[in-house]
Structure 1
């Protein structure tokens, strides 16, 4: 089961960036070399990218390119330790627009004035908010997702993982597995979404940066 990809043409159309910008950012190592994936299509060889990570990275670059030089931005993107050490209060999460107000109100901690959100807790909120924002799950399913991520947290601490959301006969369920994962479902299962830890970290990094 492959990660969702987006073609170069679709990417340029969707983001409004130019071909020249894309490859300049590549030369500056703002976009990793291994994100440029060559595949054979009926029109010949085309370039594809990991969709969620690429869109998150471009959003981050565009939001910071007026404040930082490309070299400074590349240095910051290559160092992920600062993201993993972040501790934010409820007010800071709200001010930085990490997730929607609906997600924060529903899944925020009760001891709002004292609690600080860790990297993992922020990732869980981002995962729920991402799928809710796409309209891919109900609030009840979002409750289950948030609970599942919290319960599984010790098992996946410090490891790369992927999250799968699927439906069978209208019933939604989640699978969390170490990455990279190769899962095969039966014909009655419809995969709704696949999210990697890298996707979520990319989005969170963009909002924290």
Structure 2
């Protein structure tokens, strides 16, 4: 899957930011090193970025910069492990998920009042699956099982959950974003969920 790229010059113009701001955010780990893609050009070498991701990230930075110190903001965007256990009450009070999503997760896994961070990610994924057109219960059942079996991947960078279906058959799988994916014959994609973006969103809601 080919990435849609944007040059550094165009990015600065489109977003109305300076060279200094861009590289300060890089130093603060708000923008990952791997997003700075070097390519040869007639002038020597040019820097490009994955367009959709960098624009979305800069919009978030600009929206938060007057309220959240840059050093704290980095915790939202870097996939540092969150070791703190979170109560049901705290999760719901921060609006991370609806009570129904938390209840469904508990029915699949365990009834408790405290959760690890990866479990909150799964709750949020459940919420998104429930909103899919043509939703079926098997989408949640098999996806939760897959996520639980691969929980160590959930806080890595650029992780996607993809669900494909054919008649009554459904297969969920986890891939690195922008990986090339080939489906079995006659299967169609029924959802694609960016877990890394969900992780950022959860951190901003929980710890802001």
Fold shared by both chains (TM-score > 0.5): yes
Corresponding residue pairs, total: 186
1:151-190 correspondence runs (5 A) = 152-153=149-150, 162-169=160-167, 171-176=169-174, 181-190=179-188
Inter-CA distance 178–35: structure 2 relative to 1 (3 Å threshold): closer
In the alignment, which residue of structure 2 is the partner of 1:31? Answer: 31
8 Å CA contact 2:156–2:196 kept in 1: the answer is: no
Please tell me whether residue 72 in structure 1 is matched to residue 68 in structure 2. Answer: no
Aligned-partner Cα distance in 2 for 1:79–1:26: 16
Aligned-partner Cα distance in 1 for 2:60–2:134: 24
User: In structure 2, the residue corresponding to 1:108 is in which secondary structure?
Assistant: helix
C-alpha deviations, 1:135-182, integer Å up to 9, x for none?
4633442233223322x1467588675422112246432123577854
Shift of 1:72: 2.9
User: In structure 1, the residue corresponding to 2:90 is in which secondary structure?
Assistant: helix
In terms of Rg, which structure is larger?
A: 2
In structure 2, the gaps of 5 or more residues are: 7-13, 40-47
C-alpha deviations, 1:91-135, integer Å up to 9, x for none?
0110111112321232236976x5311022112112222233354
Shift of 1:190: 1.6
Inter-CA distance 54–142: structure 2 relative to 1 (3 Å threshold): farther
Greater relative contact order (CA < 8 Å, ≥ 6 in sequence)? 1
Aligned-partner Cα distance in 1 for 2:174–2:205: 24
8 Å CA contact 1:124–1:149 kept in 2: the answer is: yes
Q: If the length of structure 2 is used for normalisation, what is the TM-score? A: 0.63
CA RMSD of aligned residues (A): 4.1
Please tell me whether residue 137 in structure 1 is matched to residue 135 in structure 2. Answer: yes
Shift of 1:32: 3.0
